[in-house]
Amino acid sequence: MDWFWRTYANRKHTQWEKTFLWDMIEPYRRPRSLIPLISLNIAAFYTGVVGAAITEQLYKEKYWEEHPGEAVPIMKPLFYFGPWKVQREDFKGPT
The residues, any chain, with a CB within 8 Å of residue 74's CB and separated by 6 or more, are 86, 91, 93
Contact 82, 70 (CB under 8 A): no
Total-model pTM: 0.54
Q: What pLDDT digit, counting tens, does each position of 11-36 carry? A: 776 666 667 767 777 777 777 899 99
> Average per-residue pLDDT in the chain?
81
Q: What pLDDT digit, counting tens, does each position of 37-94 carry? A: 999 999 999 999 999 999 999 999 999 999 988 888 878 777 888 877 766 666 565 5
